[in-house]
Amino acid sequence: MHQIIAMERSNMAISQDEREFFVELGKRITRLRKENHITQVQLAETLGISQSAMTAYELGQRRVPASMLPTLGEIFKVPVDELVGQPAARRKRGPAPKLQQHLERISQLPKPKQRLVMEVLESMLAQAGR
């Protein structure tokens, strides 16, 4: 029995590269959470975990489960590859992530506010086209 526990503990050890990956992932999660004006408590509740677990993920002290990545991507409206730090060249081409986030936020506004945003954009684009 002691041998099995010792083997499990050795399998849990992570390399320096893995440690750095999870620290950087935690930093990206923290940055995205703050950019989206979400508290650590709110994110933890949404994910169904404790705030202390969320803190450990953000500090890179615990591994973020792979099964949690798609949910985090949905919450932050970013692709999983961006969340895990894949280079931009490997991502699908499309609007800049910040622009995409703004478009998605605009689409969630009530229709009258969407029309107002569109009028402002159309006016600015018309002026820029002069």
**Same domain flag for 11 and 48:** yes
**Same domain flag for 18 and 82:** yes
**Same domain flag for 125 and 62:** no
What is the residue range of 51's domain?
Answer: 2-90
Residues 33/39/42/43 CA torsion (nearest 10 deg): 30
What sign does the CA torsion over 79, 69, 38, 14 have?
negative
Residue 32 CB neighbour total at 10 angstroms: 20
Rounded-to-integer distance, Cα 50 and Cα 34, Å: 18
Instruction: Supply 13's token pair.
Output: 């050890």
CATH number at residue 61: 1.10.260.40
pTM over 0.85: no
Task: Write the DSSP string, 26-40.
Answer: HHHHHHHHHHTT--H
pLDDT in tens, 20-72: 999 999 999 999 999 999 999 999 999 999 999 999 999 999 999 999 999 99
**Same domain flag for 79 and 111:** no
